[in-house]
Structure 1
Amino acid sequence: MTTPKPVEFSESDRTAIRYAAFQRFWGMRVLSSLSFQMLAVAMGWQMYALTHSAFALGLVGLAQFLPMFCLTLVVGHVADRYDRRRIVAICQVIEALAAGTFLLGTLGGWLSAPAIYTLAACMGAARAFESPSSSSLLPAVVPRGELSRATALSTSANQAAQILGPACGGVLYGLGPSAVYLACFVCFCAAAALVSSIPLRAKPAFRAPVTLESVFSGIAFIRREPVILGALSLDLFAVLFGGATALLPIYARDILQTGPWGLGALRSAPAIGALAGTLWFAHFPLRKRPGIAMFGGVIVFGIATIVFGLSTNFFLSLIALALLGASDVISVVVRLSLVQLRTPDEMLGRVSAVNALFIGTSNQLGEFESGVTAGWWGARASVLVGGIGTIAITLLWMRLFPALVRMRSLEREA
């Protein structure tokens, strides 16, 4: 099937789209993110229980990152040439099968560290296709005039799932890891059913022949746009150095002396802050100097990371992580808005794939970096160095990308 292009919607159609197609899209995002967050809690806790190794926790992030890195150019082209709903649904079925394998391995007693790495790689490959396809699907679900509001609502759905997912994962893990994996299996299946049922008011796109130039066109487009390149690369390096989430099992178990419920609360705290930030920007959007706001938010992100690294109090750690999430959402809003508003629809899948690679690099590879440095210097030193590195990168990027500093609007300026 061909990739749908959005068409103009009449005013009478908008209500139907908002309460039918977009609701299904929103529900799919919630269920998919909820499942992934619960699975991350179970994988991290079970891996640390098996190995008691910070390096092993980092390897889980690396196993998820490598498929995304290798498949970036492929997934963007697939998202621009085929039905994005079908791609997302297939990916979620694969993720459901991975969760089911986790369940069977736990019940059968054969789930080992190599098996977790293998399943994490399968999840990473599926999410490599799912992320750009899901992001580029949204313009075909709502009219362009509603895209900004729909993006904010979609982001809030993701943040809400990141709040509930770790908390639910921690509580369910108290009943046993098999309870978490069963819940993930059910949620992934429900998400696949929802996205398959989304009606699109769209025209089929012309499928141009695949050439070497078209494969690399997403990267070429970003290189021609210094504002987008600066925003994506800043978020990449900031989270790469400031990503302490891979070490949360160590903090929960060894430093803060809590159990799985504490790990769930710690993983939920950044999403709580991010949700608060998302709701704030939904009511008070960044209309002036979004670049300056982005740089300021990343500096606050680095400071919050340092506070978390120094903290030995559970509640102070929660506050620091919530502030970390609230400051990070500024970068998320600016980056996603720039990609959605400044990229032609026929290239949106390829550009979104590169954006997903940057996000995956900062998250999964950042977890690997945190695990390696924690194995060398200890968990606290790793987090502190990451926070300081984040602030240093931000100051450097303000000199390297002056266009991002001077940017006065998210829309393309005349």
Structure 2
Amino acid sequence: MTGQPPTGHPSAAALRSPALLRYLAGQLPSVTCSWAQVVALAWVVVQQDPHALGLVIMLQFLPTLVIGPWFGALADRYDRRRMLIIAESGLALVAAGYAIAAATGALTLPVIYLLAAAWGVINALDTPARRALVPMLVPADLAAAASALTGTAMLFGMTAGSALGGILVSTVGASATFAINAASFAADVVVLATIRTGPSPRVARAAGQVRAGLSYLWRAPLLRSTMITIALLATFGFTVQVSVPILVRVTFAGGPDLVGAAFTAGTAGSLAGMVAAAVRRAPGPPPLAPAAATLAGALLLTAVAPAVPVLLVGLAGAGFAWSVCIIAATATLQTADPAMTGRVMAIFAAVLLGGTAAGGPVAALLADLADPRAPFVVGSLAGVVGARLALAGGRLRRPA
């Protein structure tokens, strides 16, 4: 993408890109409906067996840890837009599978496990392709602003989708919620087909490209410390997709409407954090250490919440802090060599979602063996350790 040097706030300048606007127009409804599906699936699982939710989350995110870096190498070799179209089409099919199984009464735990694993494999392709495509939609000096804007749109969709999911499951049921999500993915594919970008880097295929990405990351001290901090926080700090539905149902005796409200509080907080970062005028990404410390405090408040209003405030604070952590990490990692961006972001996705995959069963086990509040206590401790790691990493120089 080329053009005249942008003027004004970077976010406003990035929004002048027709490619970015089309991308956001497709992603916003898709993310909204995807998070409605998150609520629907969580409720279906906790009704059958609350502790199975950890395994479902693991199956959804473990493939990103295992094969995500390889898919990241593919994102550096092939056309990123076409890869994203293929991935979004696959996610539409999985959502349709959920809808059909729910409508016919066949959505048992084994079927859910199968569909969750399929979703995880396709999402492992979707994530690096999407994150590597975004910088191509705007001039190079607006890549960070475009990343913040797409993150804001995603969190807005997550917030709206969490509320929408609670409403849809309570009114039209889980099957219709899954079907609506499938339709939203199909619509996004149509939008993506209309976007025109410059050519993808098309790094030539060669042996050891994934290893080269890992080696590059390890040799860059700031990138390395950022990745380790996020790994800790993702695994033990922000396990809300498992810990929140269990806490709501077991401790607060809530239904799908309260599960939706709890997710909405967290994602609304995340949206507020993303907006705050998007309008931030200070140079460079927001600092990671204070965000991790704030996450620790919010999770502790959630853990000791005596009533639903306090619970929602704690989750909103946790969402705010988590989004700032992700923004800080993403902005830092996007300073990588452009030829390495796909692999670095794929490793980031592997760490982020792989941490979620590992943390989900841990949170479920803690809730089972101790108390549904226990995962939030452990998460608070992880936030404290993460803040110290990030503070040490912040003193390191950025890679050249």
TM-score normalised according to structure 1 size: 0.89
- Name the aligned partner's letter for residue 152 of structure 1: A
Distance 1:116 1:203 in 2: 38
Does 2:232 correspond to 1:237? Answer: yes
SS of 1:208's equivalent? coil
Match of 1:354 among 347, 356, 366: 347
Asked whether the equivalents of residues 17 and 137 of structure 2 are also in contact (C-alpha less than 8 Å), the reply is: no
Flag structure 1 segments of 5+ consecutive residues without an equivalent: 1-6
Distance 2:81 2:362 in 1: 34
Please name the residue that 1:155 is paired with.
Answer: 151
Q: After superposition, give the CA deviation of every residue in 1:308-351 in whole Å (9 maximum; x if it has no partner).
A: 111131111111111111112221121111122x2122221111
CA 1:394–1:146 in 2, change beyond 3 Å: closer, same or farther?
closer
**Inter-partner Cα distance in structure 2 for 1:215 and 1:327:** 31
Distance in 2 of aligned mates of 1:251 and 1:373: 12
Shift of 1:393: 4.1
CA contact (8 A) 2:14 2:142 kept: no
Amino acid at match of 1:405: G
1:274: which partner in 2?
Answer: 270
Verify: 1:321 aligned to 2:315, yes or no: yes
1:193 is aligned to 2:182: no
Who is 2:24 aligned against?
26
- The aligned residue for residue 380 of structure 1 is 373
Match of 1:115 in 2: 111
Contact 1:250/1:379, CA 8 A, preserved across alignment: yes
**Residue 260 of structure 2, aligned match among 257, 261, 264:** 264
Q: Which amino acid is the alignment partner of residue 90 of structure 2? A: I
Q: Which runs of 5+ in 2 are unaligned?
A: 7-11
Q: Tell me, what secondary structure is at the counterpart of 2:253?
A: coil
| Cα drift, residue 207 of structure 1 | 4.1
Cα drift, residue 9 of structure 1? 2.7
The secondary structure found in structure 1 opposite 2:70 is: helix
Aligned to 1:364: 357
Change in Cα spacing, 1:17 to 1:49, as seen in structure 2 (3 Å) is: closer
Residue number in structure 1 paired with 2:67: 71
Do structure 1's residue 406 and structure 2's residue 395 form an aligned pair? yes
Secondary structure at 1:216 match in 2: helix
1:289 shift after superposition? 8.8
Letter in 2 for 1:35: C
Alpha carbons 2:213, 2:343 under 8 Å: kept: yes
1:204 Cα shift?
5.7
Is contact 1:148–1:337 with CA below 8 Å preserved after alignment?
Answer: yes
Percent of matched pairs sharing the same residue:
26
- Residue type of the partner of 1:235? I
Paired amino acid for 1:58: G
Stretch deviating more after TM superposition (369-378 or 41-50) = 369-378
Letter in 1 for 2:92: A
C-alpha contact (below 8 Å) 1:91/1:130 kept by paired residues: yes
* Residue equivalent to 1:9: 3
Distance 2:236 2:281 in 1: 28
CA contact (8 A) 1:289 1:407 kept: no
SS of 1:406's equivalent? coil
Give the Cα–Cα distance (whole angstroms) in 2 for the partners of residues 161 and 294 of structure 1. 24
- Map 1:163-202 → 2, pairs under 5 A: 163-174=159-170, 175-200=172-197, 202=198
Q: 1:95 aligns with which of 51, 67, 91?
A: 91
1:391 pairs with one of 363, 377, 384 = 384
Q: CA deviation at 1:11?
A: 5.4
CA RMSD of aligned residues (A): 2.2
Which of 201, 205, 213 is the matching residue for 1:209?
Answer: 205
Task: Note closer, same or farther for the CA distance 1:143–1:264 as it changes in structure 2 (3 Å cut).
Answer: same
8 Å Cα contact 2:132-2:345 kept in structure 1: yes
Deviation of the 1:110 alpha carbon: 1.1
Does the CA-based 8 Å contact 2:91-2:119 persist in structure 1? yes
How far apart are the structure 2 equivalents of 1:285 and 1:124? 36
Question: Is this contact kept in 1: 2:217–2:224, CA < 8 A?
Answer: yes
Counterpart of 1:346, as a letter, is: A
- In the TM superposition, what are the counterparts of 1:125-136 in structure 2 within 5 Å? 125-136=121-132
Give the conservation status (yes or no) of the 8 Å contact 1:238–1:394.
no
Among 271, 277, 283, which residue is 1:287 paired with?
A: 283
Matched, 1:138 2:131: no
The alignment status of 1:36 with 2:34, answered yes or no, reads yes
Letter in 2 for 1:196: A
- 8 A Cα contact 2:285 2:327, kept in partner: no
SS of 1:209's partner is coil
Query: What TM-score, normalized to structure 2?
Result: 0.92
**C-alpha distance 364-257 of structure 1, shift in aligned 2 (>3 A):** same
Alpha carbons of structure 1 residues 181 and 390: separation in structure 2 relative to 1, 3 Å: same
1:49 alignment partner in structure 2: 47
State the match for 1:3 in structure 2.
none
Task: Check 1:284–1:371 CA distance in 2 against 1; reply closer, same or farther (3 A cut).
Answer: same
Q: Structure 2: how far apart are the matches of 1:50 and 1:270?
A: 24
Q: Distance in 2 between matches of 1:270 and 1:90?
A: 30
SS at match of 2:373: helix
**Count of matched residue positions in the alignment of Structure 1 and Structure 2:** 393
C-alpha contact (below 8 Å) 1:29/1:191 kept by paired residues: yes
Offset at residue 288 of structure 1 (A): 6.9
Quickly say closer, same or farther: Cα 1:17–1:316, change in 2 above 3 A: closer
Cα deviation, residue 203, structure 1: 4.0
CA distance in 2, matches of 1:338, 1:289: 7
- Tell me how far apart the structure 2 counterparts of residues 181 and 203 of structure 1 sit (CA, whole Å): 35
Give distance in 2, aligned partners of 1:393 and 1:336: 16
Alpha-carbon distance in structure 2 between the residues aligned to 1:57 and 1:204: 38
Distance across 2 between alignment mates of 1:328 and 1:265:
18
Distance in 2 (CA, whole Å) between partners of 1:336 and 1:65 is: 19
Tell me if the contact between 1:256 and 1:314 (Cα under 8 Å) persists in the aligned partners. yes
CA 1:9 to 1:261, structure 2 compared with 1: closer, same or farther past 3 Å?
same
Change (3 A) 1:390 1:120: same
How many Å apart are 1:281 and its aligned residue? Answer: 2.0
